[in-house]
Amino acid sequence: MSNKKYKKQLLKSLKSLGNSEHLLLESMTNLMLLKELKKNDITFEKGDTFSFKDDIFDYSQDKNVRKMAKLRRKILKTMNILVEKNNFKDKEIKFLS
């Protein structure tokens, strides 16, 4: 495999990891909304917003959410290492922002 093809495949892998991380975050948020907020009788009206820090998932009562949060951190760490070690140009990894 040529260096150019290798780099292209690595970028494709990073994009896939980024998509997986996003879906994982979405799933964790939905799980918390479905279980914990309902349990505590917290409701939202149309147009309401909800903001939080990432570490909210580490304190979830749901062990599945905590495990998913741990996996998400590992994915993000791996992505950062791959970017740092492979000297990508900013325009090549623009999709990560």
Return the domain boundaries, the chain. Answer: 3-96
**Residue 51: burial class (beta carbons within 10 Å; 0-12, 13-18, 19+):** exposed
The reported pLDDT for the residue numbered 89 is 82
CA 89 to chain centre: 22
pLDDT tops 70 at residue 64: yes
pLDDT tops 80 at residue 27: yes
Task: Please give the average per-residue pLDDT across 42-63, as a whole number.
Answer: 85
